Amino acid sequence: MKGWLNGIGWVTAAGCNGGRNFDQQPLCAGVVETPKRKQVFANPDLRFGRLDKFSKIGLGAIAFCLRDGDAEQWEEKRQIGIVTASRYGCLQTDIDYLGTMVPDNGALSSPKYFVYTLPNSFLGEAALRFGLTGSTLVLNQTDTTGGLAAIRYALEELSWSEQPAILAGICDLDPPINLATEAGYPGSLFMLLSKEPSTTVSSYGELELRDGEIIFAGAKVADFRSLVGAALGILER
Amino acid sequence: MRRVVISQIATLTSLGAGLDSLWQSLLNGETGIAPVTRFDCKNYVSNYAACIDGLDAPANGSMLDTILAQLAEQLGDLPTDCRLLVASTKGEVDLLTDACRQQEEVPATVVAAPFVEKIAQQFGIEGSAININAACASSTLAVARAAAQIAAGDADAVLVYAADLVSEFVFSGFSALQALSDQPCRPFDANRNGLTLGEAGVALLLTSEAAAKQRNETPYAYVSGWGMANDAHHVTAPARDGNGLILACQQALKKANIANSEIAAINAHGTGTIYNDAMELTAFNAIFSADIPPMHGMKGSLGHCLGAAGGVEIAVGCKALQQQLIPATIGCQEAEIAAQGQIKSEVQKISGDYILSTNSGFGGINAAVVLQGVA
């Protein structure tokens, strides 16, 4: 099961950017700033300001990823899927929504928040903006997969389905303090995995799922962060 | 590609425990929709939902714990190498709501990983276990994923477990969106005006045909086709032209390698909202032209069970193929013009080997599964 890594984009503590414009590890500790519309889209986007923070960072990372892979522009809808792994999902939005529901016994429940109390809502935002008609879903991130759950899933789907490309990545905000763990980094980072190498930009390399291991450019990948490092050519110290 | 079967089924809905009992209740035209007593509905646009009778939470636990325990009692032994795919949109949202009300710490199990781990422990599953969230298409997507894994030879057995609650969290949200019907929902009725929530738990054991034979299990049905697609249109509203559902159904039919005319019946999502039901009829018209097979929807009987909806509907689809019947579409008194002749308020006889079961959800996702009867 193979796929070409044609684009990388993120909104993390390192800021928001695409892989071709950056030479540092974007998955790092720190505060993830909510991106402004102008940082993500050059043109006005009326809905962007209404999104919750989880959706803004996820949508932003997908936008930067597609831009990095020269796949942002479209005329006809494309059968590209999105697979996201998330540890906490939209928990913060759930809590914000309950902040509107609980005080007045539901009388002032916010429909604006409620729409984003599903972790896959932002995938719909991405799908409609970029014409993506593949399968879109959110998986729970686990500690046993090294943060590679979405990459594994995407490589399998590329092999088993007709989708020519899948965006695979992570999306997480900081959790409530009592649920915080050492694992993972806050923010969102997506990779554009395609059955074929891009014809307009250079690919980062080929990924393979072989005997349960993720292989990138011929070497086994331990976790998601090292995959990002290897793709960007960063020497981890 | 290996053949995939559904070899064990457990259900718990507002119409009781067990598939045989659910099937009989559906044939009897019963509904589990009733006034809600679980929370105060005075500030909401509806007070109807389909709740599981007497569903209580254990001390310091979630009502989902009770559903889990009851489903585990219904299932037989699972294969030792079984994987787990969980499909729940809001998981233990009852605990999160309580914690916020009491201004207490957020409980750990509202996060998906420990929630999945709890389910894996209950079933004694030690292998791969993940939760899939694709809104109201979650369990249909999970069945599709499980079938793909087994068909490709990547797994021999996968347990799909789906459950969601009637919670004040979700009820208030749909009320705020003005999406709830003030009366029990009326799927595909010309005068429908919204959905009614429901709750359910369902467990489906999918295995390779060979594994089922080895375990002397008599399959309920084959899972012979599946497809998933996004509308790329809107986050909460379906695409008017049904493009995502059409694509998902076309993929499923192609995977099953059958002609459209071989579909004996459709189990539609049928939420009872104006736009969802119209979108589905548009899509089915586009796929089947003038020959739409008999259709039915179960949400007038069970309410909209969110992430568990598709799983329950697939379970009922297995019985429909066995019995060559589809239940009445409860709540549909005067079918929408485009559904007249296909949707009925009485049990319909069907004739054929295949049923198409579909679901759609927030985020624009659509999923379709083709079930094949076992001769």
User: Which single residue is written with the structure tokens 């030879």?
Assistant: B153
pLDDT in tens, A136-160: 999 998 777 789 999 999 999 999 9
For residues B200 and B163, the answer to whether their CB atoms sit within 8 Å is yes
Q: What pLDDT does A55 receive?
A: 98
DSSP class of B136: B
Q: Which two tokens stand for residue A18?
A: 């695409």
Rounded CA separation B180/B197 (Å): 8
Mean pLDDT of A111-139: 97
Give the whole-angstrom CA distance, residue B138 versus residue B157.
19
Contact at CB, A105 and B365, closer than 8 angstroms: no
3-state DSSP call for residue A227? helix
Check CB contact under 8 Å for B90 and A117. yes
pLDDT digits (tens, 9 = 90+) for B203-237: 999 999 999 999 999 999 999 999 999 999 999 99
Rounded to whole angstroms, the maximal C-alpha distance in chain A is 58
CB pairs under 8 A between A and B: 185
Q: What is the pLDDT of residues B93-150, one digit of tens each?
A: 999 999 999 999 999 889 988 999 999 999 999 988 999 999 999 999 999 999 999 9
Pair of tokens at residue A75: 């005329």
Residue B202: closest CA among B146, B260, B160, B245: B160
CATH fold label, B4-214: Peroxisomal Thiolase; Chain A, domain 1 (3.40.47)
Domains of chain B by residue range = 4-214, 222-373
Distance of alpha carbon A23 from alpha carbon A12, whole angstroms: 14
Q: Looking at chain B from residue 282 to 341, which residues have their Cβ under 8 Å from any Cβ of chain A?
A: none
Domains along the sequence of chain A with CATH: 2-232 (3.40.47.10)
DSSP 8-state code for residue A115: T
Q: What is the pLDDT of residue B82?
A: 97
Using an 8 Å CB-CB cutoff, list chain B residues near A143: 113
Range B222-373: architecture per CATH: 3-Layer(aba) Sandwich (3.40)
Q: What is the pLDDT of residue A181?
A: 78
Q: What is the mean pLDDT of residues B322-349?
A: 96
Q: Do B111 and A88 touch (CB under 8 A)?
A: yes
CA distance B311 to chain A (A): 17
Percentage of chain A with pLDDT > 70?
99
What angle (nearest 5°) sits at the alpha carbon of residue B282, between those of residues B284 and B274? 120
The predicted pLDDT at position A143 comes to 72
Quote the mean pLDDT of chain A: 94
Nearest to B226 by CA among B375, B9, B371: B371
What is the least distance, in Å, from the CA of B249 to any CA of chain A?
13
Residue A115 has pLDDT above 50, yes or no: yes
Q: Of B116, B175, B235, which has the smallest distance from its Cβ to A140's Cβ?
A: B116
Determine the longest span between alpha carbons in chain B, in angstroms: 57
Helices (H), chain B: 19-27, 63-74, 93-101, 112-123, 138-151, 168-176, 209-214, 243-256, 274-288, 299-302, 309-323
Percent of chain A at pLDDT > 90 equals 85
Is there a contact between A140 and B131 if contact means CB atoms under 8 Å apart?
yes
Tell me if B130 and A121 make a contact (CB, 8 A cut-off). Answer: no
- ∠ CA(B36), CA(B38), CA(B43), 5° rounding? 65
Check if the beta carbon of residue B170 is closer than 8 Å to that of residue B306: yes
One-letter amino acid of A196: E
Residue B347 has pLDDT above 70, yes or no: yes
Residue B43 has its nearest CB partner, among A106, A118, A132, at A106
A156: chain B residues, CB-CB within 8 Å? 148-149, 152, 154
Residue given tokens 């686990």 in the structure block: A142
Percent of chain B with pLDDT over 90: 96
Contacts of B169 in chain A (CB under 8 A): 94, 97-98, 101, 117
B222-373 has the same fold as B4-214:
yes
Helix/strand/coil for B354: strand
User: Would you state the pLDDT for residue A235?
Assistant: 58
Give tens-digit pLDDT for B144-182. Answer: 999 999 999 999 999 999 999 999 999 999 999 999 999
- With beta carbons less than 8 A apart as the criterion, state whether A190 and A9 touch: yes
Flag whether pLDDT at B60 surpasses 80. yes
Q: In sequence order, what are the beta bridge partners of A80?
A: A165
Most A CBs within 10 A among B110, B178, B235, hence the mutation to make, goes to B235
Is ipTM > 0.90 here?
Answer: yes
Per-residue pLDDT, averaged over B16-34, amounts to 98
The CA R_g of chain B, rounded to the nearest whole Å, is 19
Burial class of residue B363 (count of CB atoms within 10 Å of its CB; 0-12, 13-18, 19+) = buried
Average pLDDT on B229-248 reads: 95
Distance from CA of A218 to the nearest CA of B (A): 23
Handedness of CA B198, B203, B209, B212 (dihedral sign): negative
Structure token pair of residue B164? 């969601």
Look at residues B82, B70, B71, B61 and name the one whose alpha carbon lies nearest to residue B124: B82
Cα→Cα distances B183→A168, B238, B297, Å: 42, 23, 17
Give the Cα separation of B159 and B157 in Å (integer).
7
Interval A11-33 mean pLDDT: 94
* Pick from A95, A119, A160: CB nearest B100: A95
Q: d(Cα A64, Cα B258) in Å, to the nearest integer? A: 41
Contact call for B133 and A99, based on CB within 8 A: no
Is B173–A114 a contact, with Cβ atoms under 8 angstroms apart?
yes
* Percent of chain B whose pLDDT exceeds 70: 100
Cβ distance B251 to A110 less than 8 Å, yes or no, reads no
Question: B365, A140: Cβ pair inside 8 Å?
Answer: no
- Note whether B148 contacts A: Cβ–Cβ < 8 A: yes
First to last CA, chain A: 30
Contacts of B328 (CB under 8 A, 6+ apart): B26, B29, B296, B344, B345, B346, B347, B348
Supply the pLDDT for residue B375. 79
Report which of B134, B172, B155 is spatially closest to residue B311, judged by C-alpha positions. B134
A237: pLDDT confidence band, cut at 50, 70 and 90? very low
Distance CA B302, CA B49 (A): 9
Report the alpha-carbon distance of residue B159 to residue B162 in Å, rounded: 10
Q: What pLDDT was estimated at residue A107?
A: 96
